[in-house]
Structures are given as structure tokens and as C-alpha cells.
Amino acid sequence: MQGRKIIQAVFFFLFFSIGAAALSSSVLSDDLVQYYQNKQLLKAAQESLERLKSLNSDYDILLERLKEDPNLVVDRLAPVTLGTGPEDANTVYPRARSRQLSAARKALIEKSNGRSAEPMMPEWLRRCSEPRNKFLLFISGVVLVLTSFVCFRPTKQTSEKEMRERFIS
């Protein structure tokens, strides 16, 4: 009799825990999806912030150099502004075509938008957040919880006196 109660308790906890997990995952799936999306947005914002900090430090260094040597401004900006060629004969200056520049710009923009190759949200959560699967998960969780309460509930010990009264009446 004692072994039967232990098996009954194990089945009760097993069915109840699986049912409760199914219920909670169906109810909380939208919140979990939003959590993972916010986490991905935060990561993208942090990467963008780091990139901006790097650009700021580069520009600060460039501004310091320009303050130290005013002729550097003329040497750097004059060829670009006036459209003249570079003055250094020992350096090769490649010319980029507009298609190459647009492809590079597109690649940089996609990289800076935080589109990472690895998905942040688990695949099981993506499947559970679909409306049909969410409904089925909810129904199966309810069925498992009800089954655990109906079939594996603790039995009340009845005395011999109560059993006689039941059979007599």
C-alpha cells in the first residue's frame, strides 16, 4: 500500500509539473519573445555606442593634430576641395567607382544596424509563440494538470466503521 502511494505521488508531481510548465510557457511566450527582442536591441545599441565612441576618439585625435599643425588642414583639404590630384609621387591613390562605394556603404549600414548572423531567440520559443501552437500548449497543460488532480489525488483512509455505513445504506 505504501509503494502505491509513492508511485501515485511521483505520477502526480510528474504530470502536474509538465502541465504547469506547458501552461506557463503558453501564457508567457509573448513576454519571452519581447524579452529576447529587447535583449537584441540592447546589444545593437551597445555596439552602435562603442562604434560612436571609437569615432569620437578618432576625431578628437584628428582635431588635436589639426590644432598642432595648421598646415595639415591645407595639405588635406585643398586637394579634395579644389579637385586637384595628390601631391605625393611615391603613394598610389586608388579611385573607387560609385558601385563599389555604394556596396561598401550598404555593407557598413547593415553591419551597423545590429543584424547579427546568429539568432538571439531560441527556436523552441519561436515555435511556441505561434498562435496555433500556443493554444495547443495551453490545452495540453490544462489537461495534464486536471489529469494529475483527478487521477492521482491522495486517497482518504476510510475506517471500517465508515465502510460499514456505506454498504448498509
For residue 88, give Cα distances in angstroms to 55, 65, 91: 27, 20, 6
Q: Characterise 51 by phi-psi region: left (phi > 0), alpha (psi -120 to 50), beta (else).
A: alpha
Q: Average pLDDT over the chain, rounded to whole?
A: 82
pLDDT in the model for residue 117:
47
What mean pLDDT is predicted for residues 146-169? 74
pTM to 2 decimals? 0.57
What mean pLDDT is predicted for residues 113-124? 67
Phi, psi for 141 (deg, rounded to 5): -65, -40
pLDDT in the model for residue 155:
66
- Distance, CA of 27 to CA of 21 (rounded, Å): 10
